[in-house]
Structure 1
Amino acid sequence: DPKVDVLGLPDWVKFIFLDIGLASIVFTCILGQLTTQVNASHMMIDFINNYFAVFTLYTAMTIEFIGIMHCAYLIKNILSAVSGKPILSNEPPKTGFTFAFYWVRVLMSCAILSFCVAVVFTALLAGDTAVSVKYPSISPPLAVVLLLFFMGVVGTLEAMQIAFFSVAKLPPSQRGTNWFGSKTCSLLFDGNGKNLPTFMIGRQLTVVCSFFLVGSFTSLTIVPGTGNNIFGVSDTSQAFLNYGFQGAVMTTILASIMWQYAASAFPVTFLNSLISFILLIVALCLEGTGICGACWV
């Protein structure tokens, strides 16, 4: 509510920091991600030498074991076949029960992902998402386009991170094969390569900003018990979906993991992309503003 007083700030400041969400974006980016990443890069052993790191590891392993994200492995296998690059693994070939259990989870994950995508796009077209509440001027078809756009931005930035570190090991003559690839490499690796960590800071800010926006497009505003539950699910299921499970699954796979696998298979292709070059400039400019400079303190 613009009429509510917040520290005596003018309306335009409240609009930028609270309505658009810049305050939450910067807070999350610096304290929730960049600060820990910077500290971990300098004190790797100390950072994992605690019980919370163990708890985080086992939580992540449990989620992976359940198989909600296993369709990402199917995407990885497809990209490996297309690129002709074998998947290097220390695990023995899957046989018997292990083989069956793996593919059951892959199929389950594909079904879950399909359901999540259906929920998000059905709600978007019906105007039952948070973006329709926050920005009523955005029509449902435009909301779909914007969701795909921001997911593409996040995915490209995720891919760029993988691609840049992959080509860093290559000779300079093999890094970029067109004008955009050459310019991208010049920006990143010329001199002492200081622009690579700079890009990582700006990239993280852009990703967090995009994810906050994507969250508005994937969060449901359907009130359970009103007879408007999506696909006619129960009130309990609708209440669960209102927490954003469908958005988390869809964006994690389609806006992050899939693009990382693609960049691993085709790093030079992403390096040569005009979109990658533009996003690199944007990330460097964002970092240059100093808005995330506190993470270095």
Structure 2
Amino acid sequence: MLAFHYDHLTLALPPGHRFPQSKYQMLRERVEREPGVMRPRVAEPAGIDALALVHTPDYIDAVMHGTLSAAAQREIGFPWGPALPRRSLCSVGATIAAARAALEEGVAASLAGGTHHAYADKGSGFCVFNDVAVAARLMQAEWHRRHRERPGLRVLVVDLDVHQGNGTASIFQGDDSVFTFSVHGEKNFPFRKEASDLDVGLPDACGDAVYLDALETALAEVWRRLADRPPGLAFYLAGADPHEGDRLGRLKLSADGLLRRDRMVLDALVERRIPVALSMAGGYGEDLAVTVEVQMRTLGAAAQAWARWRDSSPRDT
């Protein structure tokens, strides 16, 4: 399974900053210690034309040229520096590459991504550009160029980061070609939620049983609502932050519960022959090594799903 990364690009953050950027290198190194399971590749930066499919020209220009206001930088959570636009472009580029690979091979991943708090005209919550939204729009545009005689590409976003994907929900509101689905902590950030096509807000400390039951019920509703026009591509934001060891998550899922979550989503997508691009999204463990192990289990489940996709044919599903 192809897995795209860009951890060679780092931000100059002040001491004590709570964004755990070291986890990206830790995860990539962990992937590389298991040769044959995944095929890591360095991501190329996204182009400005791809960003413009989602983001406003003024916002793109401000990020690229360092004219973000102090308030805009505070909302993003990062100070502007020359590394910020370079890293942000590669974040989007990794998810674009994973989406293209998924359409070819069934399953692929970005070892970061999931920047779902970014709106069309602003960033927020450590998210500069919305990687999934840009990749979705670009895949739709490329599909249309190749298949003008066929219906457009419908996209499903399965967002299981502990925080609601408010930016993604806002970008695709009223757009029937993208179905947004989020399971998140109801009382967690963002405190003003946007309306996804399907939202499931859960209480703090809900634990495995409540979470998995809610996810199973919600997925059944997703498939019911998409039955007349199934998606041709899914994005899965497989956040590690619902984990019980996460500083920001609060839902208190076990590592085994998160693995069951991942298998539930991936099995459903592979069974329906829907290609899926994963993003690792959030993970803020008290011990980042624990977060990385949770993410490795997610990637292991994805690699197994990729193998099932590869070894089966459409008539077998």
**TM-score (normalised: structure 2):** 0.26
**TM-score (normalised: structure 1):** 0.28
Query: More relative contact order in 1 or in 2 (CA 8 Å, sep 6+)?
Result: 1
Q: Which has the larger radius of gyration?
A: 1
Structure with more of its chain in strand, by fraction: 2
